[in-house]
Amino acid sequence: MKNHLSLCTVSFFAVVLFSLSASSLADDWIPGIQELYRLDRLPTFKESIRVASISSYDRTGGNNDGFGGQYSFVRKEEGGLVLADLKGPGVIYRIWTPTPTDDMMEFYFDGESEPSIKVTFRELFLGGHPVFVRPLVGYGAGGFYSYVPLPYEKSCKVFIRAERMRFYQINYATYPENMAIVSFPKQSPDEYNRHLKKGRELFGSSGTDISSYATPPSGKVERFNSKIQLKVNDTATIFNINQPGRIVGIRISPPEALAGKERGIVLQAYWDGDKEPAILCPAGDFFGYAWGKPSVKSIPVGVADGVSYCYFPMPFDKSARIELVSELQKETALDAEVLFVPIGRRENEGKFYAIWRRENPTTKGKPFTFIETKGRGHLVGCVQQSQGFESGNTYFFEGDDQTTIDGELVIHGTGSEDFYNGGWYDVPGRWDEGRSFPLSGCLAYKKHLGRTGGYRFFIGDAYAYRKSILQTIEHSPTKNELLNDYCGVTYLYSQDRPTCEFALPSLDKRNVIDLKRIIFATWWSVPMSSFSFRNATLTKSSEELDGKDARYISLRAEGKDSFGYHFICFVCELPAAGRYKVSIDAVKGPTQAKVQLFMDEAPVEQPVDLYAAERKAVLDEYVATLDLIEGPNKLLFKLVDKNEKSQGLGFDLTNIICERVD
């Protein structure tokens, strides 16, 4: 077999058509590997003539975005499936899947008869292959992703030797014929590896000061520090300068200063004397907070080591002013640092904008819109917070992202978490925890709160447009039928001020809204602290009761436990402190026990007798009313006795319901 495993093998790269000189790095620019770390060029307008994606989305408008595999290939060929057949010059920037396999993938450049790259689909993302190296590839939150750029001069065919493929997305850009793009197999190993090393260093630097990457080669960073005491309904200027330049970092501490469900501190920035702000966003959300708490730790934006940071370069022509506006009824103390480089905006650079939008509720039949604008520019980031109106229901996250550029729908995703490089949002152990990766991640997944969200930042794969862009995401599996509360932050560079609406809603329409009635589905996935130490078994079961499927977690006990009553304890996370009525959905039957809620080893109200002559489902059975805290609460149920007619000590529990009553 031909060896395609080492970029360092000189014979593998026998034909060298292009070499960069270190001394002229700033001028010799070719799309591809340099885009992994040249953040200083991020404001530069893209020279691509088309940005697009190939994915397995359901062409009928349904939700079969890869489950059946009908749309998971471009065409069939002998021995397998063609996943992409791209015409160049161009660059593949991103490959994603939640369903990797051990089938062989092959990459054919410029009509090759033998593939230059052969790698199993799974190995492509694991970091052991010399082409697909960590942290440019990775996995977590249910998804597998690669950001290794694969340039091609004439064409690139991606082929998998498999009979079936499921979910996938491949993002790419096509460039003009005169672009000196060199196909991946023909690049100089020494130059490629030099750039690769820098790219890997940046991708491994989330949460650190990366302002040097955002600074042009000839620039020097100047730091402006200030201590701010934001008074009630106050505005504080954290940076003001009247000369050309660019901001390469904004840092604010402590994170607690911007936290809170009110979203009452606003970040706004003005370029070149504009009367309207280019950045207008609740400050916490701008730095990747979700529902009032820090949630992101990415390369360009996030919170780490007690600092909220942003390292998107922001060039301007003659002046800049950055302000924090407080609409809170309390004073806020914070430290601010702005990193400035005295190199003005270049002719081919856009200005930086950040726009916050909320749709509460979303519009039936219409997707949530991150941004819709005319002009020239490129989108470089989206952060989404999604809140359902019903506890336990996050079905809205089946919705697909869609990108229309210059009037053409060019990107159609396969599910909301897929857009953020995740997968399987409702399967435990995947999307169900807040996870941060270099360019994407999960803000949180709280099924009981009907709440989830994600973020994705774009570097090489930025969505470039010349006339217009419409970036949306559905809020329902199909037809946008579910109504929800959606918030989004969009980061972009634009030649002119975006033509969309910038205004923020009033404070009372920005705040996080918590559900009052919270349902914890114990039959699915609720953290459990512990259960009986001996003489007990715990299973998950289902059966048909009253013509409906009843699912429950089942505790079966006999005799005595080590320290008294048999018990089971669940960890129930609540969004706010208060007084709550606790009830249960359970199964009554001839082998069920009397159950009582205990707090601090003290019984709360009277036991609930779950005995019945025949098995039947009961809903909203009252247990107790008590004070609970924001965050995790341990609800301990003890099997304190049994009805004299009962034949056992059983507890079949479907849901725990906590409903706030104050």
Residue 563 lies inside a defined structural domain of this protein: yes
Q: What is the pLDDT of residue 21?
A: 29
Which residue type is seen at 359?
E
Q: Is residue 180 part of a domain?
A: yes
DSSP letters spanning 163-222: S-----EEEEEE--TTS----GGGS-HHHHHHHHHHHHHHHT-TTS--HHHHS-TT---E
Question: Which pTM value belongs to this model?
Answer: 0.94
Contact 338, 247 (CB under 8 A): yes
Say if residue 303 is in the same domain as residue 285. Answer: yes
- Report the CATH number that the domain containing residue 295 is assigned in CATH: 2.60.120.1390
Domain assignment present for 44: yes
Supply the pLDDT for residue 662: 87
Residue 454 placed within a domain: yes
Distances (CA, A) of 436 to 25, 286, 379, 439: 31, 16, 20, 8
Q: Which residues pair with 210 in a beta bridge?
A: none
CA pair distance 344, 82, nearest whole angstrom: 46
Residue 128 lies in a domain: yes
Domain end (from 480, 511, 542): 511
pLDDT of residue 9: 33
Give one DSSP letter per residue of 126-176, joined into a string. Answer: HSBSSSSBTTTEEEETTEEEE---EEESSEEEEEE--S-----EEEEEE--
Query: What does the alpha-carbon distance between residue 634 and residue 628 come to, in Å, rounded to a whole number?
Result: 9
How many angstroms separate the CA atoms of 150 and 269, rounded? 36
As a residue count, the chain comes to 662
Q: Give 357-384 pLDDT, tens digit per residue.
A: 999 999 999 999 999 999 999 999 999 9
Q: At 127, which amino acid appears?
A: G
Q: How far apart are alpha carbons 522 and 526 in whole angstroms?
A: 5
Q: What is the rounded distance in angstroms from the CA atom of residue 512 to the CA atom of residue 534? A: 44
* Coil/strand/helix, residue 497: coil
End-of-domain residue from the set 346, 370, 391: 346
| Cβ atoms of residues 385 and 443 within 8 Å | yes
The CATH number of residue 649's host domain is: 2.60.120.260
Give me the domain span that covers residue 354.
Answer: 350-511
Rounded to an integer, what distance in angstroms lies between the CA atom of residue 514 and that of residue 265? 20
Query: Do 506 and 538 fall within a single domain?
Result: no
Cα separation, 407 vs 469, whole angstroms: 8
Note the pLDDT of residue 257: 97
- Domain-embedded: residue 5: no
Residues lower than pLDDT 70 in the chain: 1-27
127, 142: one domain: yes
At residue 433, the pLDDT reads: 85
Question: Both 35 and 156 in a single domain?
Answer: yes
The confidence score (pLDDT) of residue 19 equals 31
Tokens read off for 530: 């512990």
Alpha helix locations (H) across 464-603? none
Query: What is the rounded distance in angstroms from the CA atom of residue 572 to the CA atom of residue 380?
Result: 37
Using the 3D structure, point to which of 326, 346, 366 is the last residue of a domain: 346
